Structure 1
């Protein structure tokens, strides 16, 4: 199983926007702790959407990304990601 952030109200998956390509990228975390940490970082900068960490099957979230034209990134236990500057500012 993997972990993504989803909006509580709509169930929509959180995605970051690539500033150069303007594509949406869904971050898929291997570890729940890493997803929780990223969620906490978003909350600390008063991110306007109410998100929660959701457990998902890897193949399902990847299929969903492909269906909706989103790119995705697998965040491994060796990766450390922070919210992009556009979210923090």
Structure 2
């Protein structure tokens, strides 16, 4: 089984990044910064339009640059605490 099905399998990094960027779960990380209602509205808009959470937040001018990058970092979201806070 391992030789025919598992050996040599590699993740498609670009596809994985795309799926994470389009995940409504990212909106959860925004809640401490923009509030639950705004984060939920962004998640719904993302699902409805197919645009990423990051894209919608930037378009609305809610967060920018390094701050947004730190908050939406998948690595930071897997660590204890609030993403983006030092």
Q: Same fold (TM over 0.5)?
A: no
> What is the TM-score when the length of structure 1 is the normalising length?
0.27
Structure with the greater relative contact order (CA < 8 A, sep ≥ 6): 1 or 2?
1
Higher CA-based Rg: 2
Q: Which one has a larger percent helix, Structure 1 or Structure 2?
A: 2
> What is the TM-score when the length of structure 2 is the normalising length?
0.27
Q: Which one has a larger percent strand, Structure 1 or Structure 2?
A: 1
